[in-house]
Structure 1
């Protein structure tokens, strides 16, 4: 502990360093508004508590714009009693909060001979003389604190991505386990279920996990998903898998929407083969498609096509949307049959031919059929009152690249699995 020159305030090497830094702060490099933005970002960086942050905001609000201009100093001369009244705490608690902010290097003290705070401003609002609490360290450490806040923002962004990916992987594994319970050998199935339970236990509270822990858990969940998916995909019907591959029914990003035109002979032939002639409004749909102006594809979009996403098993769709099996005479056995049934389902839901044509033009036939199945199930569950309006909303999201059918499908699947688990005698693998 260094001896204070005044005998009133105790000094430490850190406080002495911060005092020198505040005395040489380049006041005027950043305006008061920029300092305010920094102030709103540094709480998670410095890990200040509520009282300390409120005190810092009170001190900052006591400064003027002129205090942050070149040639001035942002000094506040409010007494501890005045600060305590605004904070609604005791004077001793106020002193403790001031000491903590001083040790953090956020404030410093510009003391008079007797350590009393005082100050005076001229008519323009500029400080003539002042002794009190200096906020010049916010300017002196502006670049340092901004860099720390940026790193923390990147870390939080990475943490959010890992949380979402882990949640998606967990749902995929749960759905695959539920569908493969009767096809996989009992011991093999129980082995995967135990590994899932172990990973969930080791994961703990995902909201408080560090980035390093989340990255390790993401790798473990991904390895488990790949191993389980390899077995499930190997057990699928080869015919169904071949047709799904030829039709290209993948969940794809909608950043670059597909263009569909009935002038394309292959599209018309596929539509006829899919059974769209069964729809009485098929002619109107074709006319709507032909009358729709073709979407202009920019050269950069043509050079950088959207990458395909994760394949969605048809059984997952039928499990999440049981209304399809209930309404159809025979459940679809492959994606081509689901596309054909979508033409029959559309008028049953009251969706206009124009809305259906718009969805197919923006998202493509495969995603449009999947979107219609999700819409039908949500209407059956009472979540959607206007299927046509809901489908048009999906089309707008697809045009903006914000349509994520995988999340909607996972949400429906989770609710169906939860309802099945609540039935008496149901076996759980969770």
Structure 2
């Protein structure tokens, strides 16, 4: 059979051609289309290399190419794509094929298979052959809806985790109460089930359905525990004894003394925050001290808490660790792991930041300015922060934002560690933690 030399059609290529026709009828700005894709890239199976190549292609388009009736067609040479991405020719072709099969670009081939194009004096395309990005415009609405659904699911997961934490601590408090401690039947009925739910929680339930089942189980267990305690009617003698004791010492407002007062831990250590999260559901015992009376113990605790807060150091960029950066910037972490695998050292972080830099549109000059104004490691941490903010739509110009941080660093006004820890708290939804820190004048401020 004689080979035609023409591109062999596949279902994916045919679908991409159909999407290109749909995209021609829409007016979608390039930035909006790329942002929508970036937010769901990991969900639709797009690799960092695919995204990098698509960003490189989009650089060649102009705003008028994304208007209704126009097509954003680009015609870069293979040599340019190899130089821009650092990939081999076979890798470039492989990524282009993946983008077309994913329905993000379409091929527009000339009669001789070469890429070329012409624009008029106003910059509009007259005739062009190469890569058509119209399918991306056609799918922008789909990607935005998908991102909204993901955000809704994340918020639901966050609410479920908060609810489970509250229920878990409530049941633990019921089990630690004096009536429950005196009743073996209560422990036999409630205690083992509580331990089973804790074990299930430690196994790492992450999806909405599993967390919802755990939430319902903890809620049912709490209701049963409260009902069981209500049925443990105290004897009249015990009730009278407790009433006499309360009248004798009216200042003792805490029923079990200051030992059982809520333990508030004020810390700047991100690892400590992580240990108090859902991933470590075990209860941490608090060393008890002899009760000295509710009012006096509370006043002493407040004084010692204030002195501990005064002794805590202010965060500096030097306090940042690779783990804290990757934990606070999950979008950057996903891209970094896709490019370089595991990040084991600051050198790895700097190297992968240099690879991600062109993907989010930061020029080599802006990168060099930032590295001169800060250290190379601080510049990499700043780029990680910018990547996540750019993905969330908070930052529209990553290059300009990085230059602004460099200027702050030059003037000694940059507080990078605060920004990273603040980002971590936003991710965790630690509103209660922020309120506690704010009440002591230690709320984290962005750089």
Q: TM-score, normalised by structure 1?
A: 0.54
Q: Is structure 2 residue 22 aligned with structure 1 residue 59?
A: no
2:228 aligns to what?
A: 231
> Per the alignment, in what secondary structure is the counterpart of residue 113 of structure 2?
coil
> Per the alignment, in what secondary structure is the counterpart of residue 71 of structure 2?
coil
Distance 1:162 1:49 in 2: 31
Q: Is structure 2 residue 260 aligned with structure 1 residue 319?
A: yes
Checking the alignment, whether the CA contact within 8 Å between 1:27 and 1:139 is kept in structure 2 is: no
Tell me by how many angstroms 1:215 deviates.
1.0
Distance 2:297 2:178 in 1: 29
1:21 aligns to what?
A: 19
Task: Pick closer, same or farther for the CA change 1:320–1:100 going to 2, 3 Å.
Answer: farther
2:151 aligns to what?
A: 153
Distance 1:190 1:61 in 2: 67
Tell me by how many angstroms 1:140 deviates.
1.6
Distance 1:43 1:322 in 2: 42
Task: Pick closer, same or farther for the CA change 1:98–1:330 going to 2, 3 Å.
Answer: same
> Per the alignment, in what secondary structure is the counterpart of residue 118 of structure 2?
strand
Checking the alignment, whether the CA contact within 8 Å between 2:179 and 2:229 is kept in structure 1 is: no
2:306 aligns to what?
A: 379
Q: 1:239-261 deviations in whole A, cap 9, x for unaligned? A: 9xx9xxxxxxxxxxxxxxxxxxx
Distance 1:60 1:232 in 2: 66
Q: How many residues are paired up?
A: 281
Q: 1:173-203 deviations in whole A, cap 9, x for unaligned? A: 3333334586243353255333223223334
Q: Is structure 2 residue 219 aligned with structure 1 residue 222?
A: yes
Q: Please list, as runs of the form range in 1=range in 2, the aligned pairs for 1:295-306 lying within 5 A after superposition.
A: none
Distance 2:104 2:47 in 1: 14
> Per the alignment, in what secondary structure is the counterpart of residue 183 of structure 1?
helix
- Unpaired runs of 5+ residues, structure 1, are 243-273, 276-312, 332-340, 350-372, 387-401, 409-430
Task: Pick closer, same or farther for the CA change 1:378–1:114 going to 2, 3 Å.
Answer: farther
Tell me by how many angstroms 1:406 deviates.
12
Q: Is structure 2 residue 59 aligned with structure 1 residue 118?
A: no
Checking the alignment, whether the CA contact within 8 Å between 2:259 and 2:291 is kept in structure 1 is: no
Distance 2:112 2:180 in 1: 84
1:37 aligns to what?
A: 35
2:376 aligns to what?
A: none
Q: TM-score, normalised by structure 2?
A: 0.53
Task: Pick closer, same or farther for the CA change 1:140–1:162 going to 2, 3 Å.
Answer: same
Distance 1:233 1:91 in 2: 74
Distance 2:84 2:172 in 1: 53
Task: Pick closer, same or farther for the CA change 1:36–1:403 going to 2, 3 Å.
Answer: closer
Q: Please list, as runs of the form range in 1=range in 2, the aligned pairs for 1:169-180 lying within 5 A after superposition.
A: 169-179=167-177
Tell me by how many angstroms 1:136 deviates.
0.4
Q: Please list, as runs of the form range in 1=range in 2, the aligned pairs for 1:25-424 lying within 5 A after superposition.
A: 25-179=23-177, 183-186=181-184, 188-206=186-204, 209-232=206-229, 318-321=259-262, 330-331=293-294, 341=295, 378-379=305-306, 382-383=308-309, 404=432
Distance 1:68 1:149 in 2: 22
Distance 2:158 2:27 in 1: 34
Checking the alignment, whether the CA contact within 8 Å between 1:159 and 1:214 is kept in structure 2 is: yes
Distance 1:205 1:119 in 2: 57
Distance 1:28 1:101 in 2: 20
Checking the alignment, whether the CA contact within 8 Å between 2:52 and 2:85 is kept in structure 1 is: yes
> Per the alignment, in what secondary structure is the counterpart of residue 119 of structure 1?
strand
Task: Pick closer, same or farther for the CA change 1:13–1:212 going to 2, 3 Å.
Answer: same
Tell me by how many angstroms 1:9 deviates.
1.8
Task: Pick closer, same or farther for the CA change 1:326–1:317 going to 2, 3 Å.
Answer: closer
- Unpaired runs of 5+ residues, structure 2, are 240-249, 265-287, 313-429, 437-447
Distance 1:316 1:31 in 2: 64
Distance 2:184 2:131 in 1: 71
Distance 1:77 1:190 in 2: 73
Measured on the aligned residues, the alpha-carbon RMSD in Å equals 4.1
Task: Pick closer, same or farther for the CA change 1:80–1:186 going to 2, 3 Å.
Answer: farther
Task: Pick closer, same or farther for the CA change 1:28–1:140 going to 2, 3 Å.
Answer: closer
Higher Cα Rg, which structure? 1
1:299 aligns to what?
A: none
Tell me by how many angstroms 1:164 deviates.
2.0
2:381 aligns to what?
A: none
Checking the alignment, whether the CA contact within 8 Å between 1:119 and 1:129 is kept in structure 2 is: yes
Checking the alignment, whether the CA contact within 8 Å between 2:174 and 2:180 is kept in structure 1 is: no
Task: Pick closer, same or farther for the CA change 1:237–1:214 going to 2, 3 Å.
Answer: same
Tell me by how many angstroms 1:377 deviates.
6.5
